[in-house]
Amino acid sequence: MELANKKVIVVGLGVTGIAVARFLKKRGAVVIATDQATEGTLGARAQKIQEMGIAMELGGHRSQTFAKADLIVMSPGVPHTIKPVVRAKENGIPVIGEIELASRFIKEPILAVTGTNGKTTTSEILGCMLTHSGFNVFVGGNIGSPLIGYVDAEQKADFIVAEISSFQLDTIDTFRPKIGVLLNITADHLDRYQNFEAYAASKIRIFKNQQPGDIAVLNGSDPVVRSLSEPLDITKLYYPSLADKEEGAVNNGTRIRFRFNESKKRDDRGPLAHLASRNRQSLNVSKVKLIGRHNLENAAAAALAALATGASPESVQVALNRYQGAAHRLEHIDTMHGVDFINDSKATNVDAVIKAVESFKKPVVLIMGGLDKGGNFQGLREVLARHTKKLIVMGKAAARIQSALGDTVPTTLALSMADAVKQAYRVVSPDNVILLSPGCASFDMYENYVQRGEDFRKAVKNFKLQIS
């Protein structure tokens, strides 16, 4: 892909946008970075762009600038449906995202992981499994470093493991993972998508450019995943595999057992011929440190992808035993007088909250709230009635959550994270759980879910000092 002297618009100046701008500048493109925010709001990010000698247009996106571009590169946080971008596309100007741009320079096999929930955990476990098998692995995308950063640094890995969001999939063109993993599709981001069907259609795009010989790892128990993946003419591995004819994995709570066709022993030309010998082999999950049955399913998905690349079952088992869990995803923060404090700040939709609450046999005091993404909080009524003793709400979505759930479980409003932790502790008993699982975005009070999770950690630490 030739970039020298091309006029390229970079839309959005978050971490990804800055990385893209740097990459393009190094390759001789004439770059203009644009963002809705003002210079004062962007602060250090704007300064970084200035130091690179890149022109900026801030405080809005100007159609006349976009109209003169040779290429437009979208950051995932900016909808590709904004008017200047739509008009540019109508005029034949290419519009792509950072994932698409990076993939055009990546020669190594890409293992891409998407889904409404579990992407980070699965991507991290998969990276660990491959690393323990002796491979050099880069893990990035929607977590950690953008893929364009890998290209820019001229790194060399055996495999790329990329967490991919629906926003990133919206702007792919030729992006083709060797292995695509689709974990689940439940309602999310309905503040950005017209409806659930549009959101689901975005997720299935991960397989858009796959060809015979490529692999799809699919959640066999998710009806939406089942339905949308049915037409795919690629090798499919299911977890759980629900029929004898289906290849994949089954988790019975103690072991993950693999099922591959023995007939492949007679045909070494297929993409999974080497897996025939793994038929009926299994992984022991008794030493897994992850909380929740859904995380065992994530582990099964990662194991299938790892084995498909040639990772050894022994190394996969070691990685599974050692993996501690993703930060801000059912992360144990502390225990005080028998009460566990759990940080699940990354849970930004209703389904994630359900899975989090159901992960505990102990009574739960739940802290929820943040920026509303259009989720159906009514879907929490049953699980809260069964598992929670109190609900504490905060942020812009507090009133809507309380309206939907306040008659199901005692509910109070917290003015800050510290206040939420204090309120929660007042009603707990030994052997209870205080769980931060917001079910909302963080942007009303925090820069991102990480900052929110760290605020919870700080609040717990400070509270411990107060009562000790």
Q: What pLDDT digit, counting tens, does each position of 12-24 carry?
A: 999 999 999 999 9
CA angle 13, 17, 22 (to 5 degrees): 115
Q: What is the pLDDT of residue 277?
A: 65
Count H helices, E strands: the chain? 18, 20
pLDDT > 70 in the chain, percent: 96
Do 77 and 90 form a contact (C-beta atoms < 8 A)?
A: no
DSSP character at residue 263: G
What DSSP letter does each residue of 366-423 carry, written as one string? Answer: EEEESB--S--GGGGHHHHHHHEEEEEEESTTHHHHHHHHTTTS-EEE-SSHHHHHHH
* Mean pLDDT, range 334-345, rounded to an integer: 97
CATH code, residues 101-322 = 3.40.1190.10
Distance CA 21, CA 423 (A): 45
Extents of the domains making up the chain = 7-93, 101-322, 331-467
Read off the pLDDT of residues 41-67 as tens digits, 9 standing for 90 and up: 999 999 999 999 999 999 999 999 999
Q: Which helix (H) or strand (E) holds 436?
A: strand 433-436
Domain 7-93 class, CATH top level:
alpha beta
- Using CB atoms within 10 Å of the CB of residue 223, give its burial: 0 to 12 exposed, 13 to 18 middle, 19+ buried: exposed
Cα atoms in the 13 Å half-sphere on the side-chain side of 408: 20
pLDDT of 263 over the 60 cut? no
Distance CA 192, CA 183 (A): 21
How would residue 135 be classed by pLDDT, with cut points 50, 70 and 90? very high
* Mean pLDDT, range 353-381, rounded to an integer: 96
CA 401 to chain centre: 24
Distance CA 50, CA 431 (A): 53
How would residue 287 be classed by pLDDT, with cut points 50, 70 and 90? confident
CATH code, residues 331-467 = 3.90.190.20
Cα atoms in the 13 Å half-sphere on the side-chain side of 102: 34
Q: What is the pLDDT of residue 276?
A: 64
